[in-house]
Amino acid sequence: MKKVLKKRILLPVLALTVFLSTTAFQNDFFEIAKQIEIFTTLFKELNMNYVDETNPGELMDTAIKSMLADLDPYTNFLNEQDVEAARINQTGDYIGIGAKVKTLKEKLVIVEPYKDYPADKAGLKAGDEIIKVGNISVADYKDDAGNLLQGTPGSKVEVTYVRQGKTYTAAIEHAEVEINAVPYYAMVNESTGYIVLSKFNNKASQQTGYALRDLKAQGAKRIILDLRGNPGGLLNEAINVVNLFVPKGQLVVTTKSKVKSYNKTYYTQKDPVDTDIPLVVLINGSSASASEIVSGSLQDLDRAVIVG
């Protein structure tokens, strides 16, 4: 009798749980559908009836990014231009003039002309302000003006730029540009090697490993890994950089999601280059994302001293 009673009590409880879960899901779905309908109606009416000409793509881009801005700094939307920029950051390869530029309101500022690439050969220097590309004024260009500097290999683009108050022009040929993750490494004294890792693209661990081995061959007994200004990049490359200094099979980072199936744990999977060489990692306020993973992991594993 008691067993029957338990079953009778248990079944209604289970049914109630399923009912509440289903009801909650239906309520969420209804609310989402309702808000989508409101937004769709507004977006249609705005683009069809607004007094001035509108750009639906720009409005949608602004709406989505404004919505995500209310959440957290790490939830982002990539439009077509952003996807291309992300591809360049991940691969380090693109076709352009061979310079790192910063887009400001009315100009493009040369941050760094890559050595031996077209911009460098044309005489452009860090700090030069590009105000016109071809016949297009940067100040009047609504999209990312940096895109104006890209083109097909062998084609030329004329840029007008300002340096110390004087205006110059230069015809620059487009070329295939390969951005190194490690732009510089050297021996700073007889026993100390120095490696600058500027980004975590898909060349990061390979180039860092090459630099580490070369410096050891030159007699390095200690290493300085400079991550200052490194904005991050590919997570798997961060794991592989850590792997250069710690043994295979070491837990590096765990990611957790609201959806449990997305939870992941990352371990080092390769044989290290050197697990004993003294290591100092330099960071600053601009060292983010993958840079934080590398510096934090090496610190937590007592493998490096962090400075910055």
Residue pair 90/232 in contact by the 8 Å Cβ criterion: no
The model's confidence at residue 223, banded by pLDDT at 50, 70 and 90, is very high
Query: What digits encode the pLDDT tens for the residues 109-150?
Result: 998 898 889 999 999 999 999 999 989 888 888 777 778 888
The CA dihedral of 204, 210, 214, 219, to the nearest 10 degrees, is 60
Strand partners, 222: 192
Q: Is the pLDDT of residue 287 over 50?
A: yes
Residue pair 207/215 in contact by the 8 Å Cβ criterion: no
Average pLDDT over the chain, rounded to whole? 87
184-307 has which CATH code?
3.90.226.10
Query: What digits encode the pLDDT tens for the residues 169-185?
Result: 999 999 988 888 999 99
Strand blocks (E) in the chain: 93-96, 99-103, 108-113, 129-133, 136-137, 156-163, 166-173, 175-178, 184-187, 192-196, 222-226, 251-255, 264-267, 279-282, 305-307
pLDDT value for 96 = 86
Query: What digits encode the pLDDT tens for the residues 94-114?
Result: 788 988 888 887 889 998 898
Q: Is the pLDDT of residue 21 over 70?
A: no
81-178 has which CATH code?
2.30.42.10
Say how far apart CA 107 and CA 131 lie, in whole Å: 5
Nearest to 235 by CA among 276, 182, 291: 291
Strand partners, 307: 282
Residue pair 156/174 in contact by the 8 Å Cβ criterion: yes
The model's confidence at residue 3, banded by pLDDT at 50, 70 and 90, is very low
pLDDT value for 179 = 83
Strand partners, 192: 222
Q: Is the pLDDT of residue 4 over 50?
A: no
Percentage of residues in the chain having pLDDT higher than 90: 52
Query: What is the average per-residue pLDDT within 213-229?
Result: 97
Say how far apart CA 104 and CA 129 lie, in whole Å: 10
DSSP state of 110: E
pLDDT value for 23 = 55
Q: Which CA distances in Å does 234 have to 141, 202, 256, 272? A: 31, 7, 17, 19
pLDDT value for 234 = 92
- Considering just the CA atoms, what is the radius of gyration of the chain in Å? 27
Q: Is the pLDDT of residue 7 over 70?
A: no
The full DSSP string for 169-199 is: EEEEE-EEEE--S--EEEESSSSEEEEE---
pLDDT value for 82 = 75
DSSP state of 151: -
The model's confidence at residue 20, banded by pLDDT at 50, 70 and 90, is very low
Say how far apart CA 59 and CA 178 lie, in whole Å: 34
The model's confidence at residue 200, banded by pLDDT at 50, 70 and 90, is very high
Helix H or strand E segment including 24: helix 2-49
pLDDT value for 308 = 85
pLDDT value for 12 = 55
Query: What digits encode the pLDDT tens for the residues 25-76?
Result: 566 778 888 899 999 999 999 999 999 998 998 899 889 989 988 888 778 8
The full DSSP string for 196-227 is: E---BSTTHHHHHHHHHHHHHHTT-SEEEEE-
